[in-house]
């Protein structure tokens, strides 16, 4: 019989996969270390089991104990897997920046999850680390691993990730690229690789707004600014960041991180999270200047499934002003309007009474309405012109919409580009959106104005 003793035996030994299409024109070999293939779908499975094993050895975690940790999610998942197998309880503290998928995943693994505001500063009572420390203190028979300082974190990478990469590349690796959250991955793997060959370059990929680039270059800690990528970057230097093993830190924008994460799925079939996109962007930047002997390995930190409601959602990217302009379709514009617009399409039938139609427009604050019959557009009602007609002839209030309506608004397909929509709006007050023969939405000049104001972000 061939089987594993438990799910923890599946952790590590992740493969390296060569990139082929994203690296066109580059001479260097770029390899993805597929940490998304761990049983908890992230690089953090390695440290979850390692910190628990260390605590058991040291007598800090006893049968029936509770593990309490501050986590952006993945370490929690790694700890929860091991806790499930070994019979411990878990309480995890996350900020409201972490994706809802990760929180639900943790609950599915039997953990309790506490959410704190991401705006809370380090050291204040609401900060996720202070909250976890307080809960650990108040919970009997609890163990607080503290992934930011626990030596088993970098040690796990020194003992597993580093040797795996060294063996898989037969010692040919020249550059290693990883994000810096707790620092465990880059410090442990970096130390191992440097001990094997001090010429291997260790490159940190860090979001703009985080401290590590300036810290590496000047030793100073800058005031941070917010960014959206999860799991990497810091406001303070955690003890597990061993900066002596890091040669260079490259800053990557949220826009580039998310775009590269999406491209890794679309172009290479590797479905990953945002920090993997940060690493990929940095890896490609490094590889650009290298020759054919170079072997660049970057970490695919976790699966894209954790971020289906985040950067893998066009709607979310649009809301965050990060959607590439060419992706802005009629369907997306009409489907993600601001709060000023009704949630579903408002229309009238040709047989409706004019007074009712005008009352509806007044109530909802709309200046135009499509007139639909059996789902097809047959005309339009424009408030100012309809009112002018009614003022001239009050009897029209009692007649049907068909008597005062005008020609229909133009119709575009749900996949039509924002440019096509804008073109129609130059000579029409609104455009109807059609999906598989049904009118599903309306776009007004106001909506496009909103859109223009919302697409001045980094990628436009």
Can you give the binding site for ligand PLP, defined by CB under 6 A? 72, 74-75, 179-186, 230-232, 273, 275, 301-302
Between 51 and 412, CB nearer to ligand PLP: 51
| Residue 209, both tokens | 């707004």
Can 44 be counted among the known catalytic residues? yes
**Closest alpha carbon to 232 in 260, 216, 254:** 254
Q: How far apart are CA 51 and CA 164, in angstroms?
A: 20
Between 102 and 175, CB nearer to ligand PLP: 102
Cβ at position 255, least distance to ligand PLP in Å? 18
Between 234 and 368, CB nearer to ligand PLP: 234
Between 216 and 446, CB nearer to ligand PLP: 216
Q: How far apart are CA 456 and CA 452, in angstroms?
A: 7
Q: Which residues of 320-333 are buried (b: 16+ CB within 10 A; e: fewer)?
A: bbbbeeeebbbbbb
Cβ at position 182, least distance to ligand PLP in Å? 3
Centroid of chain to Cα 108: 20
| Strand ranges in 278-399 using DSSP code E only, listed in sequence order | 295-300, 368-373, 376-382
Strands 430-435 and 438-444: antiparallel
Return the DSSP state at 157.
I
Of the candidates 18, 33, 44, 196, the residue annotated as catalytic is 44
Number of neighbours of residue 141 by Cβ within 10 angstroms: 12
**Closest alpha carbon to 279 in 295, 294, 264:** 264
Between 234 and 380, CB nearer to ligand PLP: 234
Residue with tokens 């003890």: 239
Active site residues per annotation: 44
């Amino acid at each position: 019989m061939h089987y594993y003793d438990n799910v923890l035996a599946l952790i590590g030994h992740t493969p390296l996969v060569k990139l082929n299409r994203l690296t066109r024109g580059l001479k260097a070999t770029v390899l993805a270390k597929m940490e998304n293939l761990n049983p908890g779908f992230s690089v953090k499975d390695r440290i979850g089991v390692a910190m628990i094993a260390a605590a058991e050895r040291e007598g800090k975690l006893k049968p029936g104990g509770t593990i309490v940790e501050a986590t952006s999610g993945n370490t929690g998942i790694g700890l929860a897997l091991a806790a499930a197998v070994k019979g411990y309880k878990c309480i995890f503290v996350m900020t409201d920046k972490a994706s809802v998928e990760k929180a639900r995943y943790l609950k599915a693994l039997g953990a309790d999850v506490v959410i704190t505001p991401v705006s809370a500063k380090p050291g204040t009572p609401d900060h996720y680390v202070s909250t976890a420390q307080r809960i650990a203190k108040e919970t009997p028979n609890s163990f607080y691993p503290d992934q930011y300082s626990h030596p088993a974190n970098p040690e796990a990478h020194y003992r597993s990730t580093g040797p795996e990469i060294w063996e898989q590349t037969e010692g040919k690796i020249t550059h290693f690229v990883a994000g810096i959250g707790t620092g465990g991955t880059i410090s442990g793997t970096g130390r191992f690789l440097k001990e094997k060959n001090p010429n291997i370059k260790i490159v940190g990929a860090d979001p703009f707004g985080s401290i590590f680039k300036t810290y590496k270059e000047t030793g100073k800690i800058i005031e941070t600014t917010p960014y959206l990528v999860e799991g990497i970057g810091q406001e303070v230097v955690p003890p597990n960041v061993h900066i002596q093993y890091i040669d260079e830190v490259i800053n990557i924008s949220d826009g580039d991180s998310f775009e590269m994460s999406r491209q890794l799925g679309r172009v290479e079939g590797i479905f990953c999270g945002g920090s993997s996109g940060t690493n990929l962007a940095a890896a490609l930047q490094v590889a650009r200047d290298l020759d054919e002997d170079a072997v660049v390995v970057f970490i695919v930190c976790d699966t894209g499934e954790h971020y289906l409601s985040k950067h893998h959602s066009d709607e979310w990217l649009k809301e965050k002003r990060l959607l590439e302009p060419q992706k802005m379709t009629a369907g997306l514009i009409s489907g993600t309007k601001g709060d000023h617009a009704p949630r579903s399409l408002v229309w009238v039938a040709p047989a409706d009474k004019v007074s009712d139609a005008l009352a509806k427009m007044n109530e909802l604050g709309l200046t135009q309405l499509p007139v639909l019959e059996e789902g097809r557009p047959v005309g339009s009602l424009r408030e100012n012109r309809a009112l002018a007609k009614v003022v001239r002839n009050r009897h029209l209030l009692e007649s049907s919409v068909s008597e005062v309506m005008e020609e229909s608004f133009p119709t575009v397909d749900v996949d039509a580009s924002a440019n096509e929509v804008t073109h129609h709006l130059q000579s029409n007050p609104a455009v109807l959106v059609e999906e598989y023969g049904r009118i599903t939405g309306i776009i007004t000049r106001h909506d496009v104005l909103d859109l223009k104001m919302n697409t001045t972000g980094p990628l436009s």
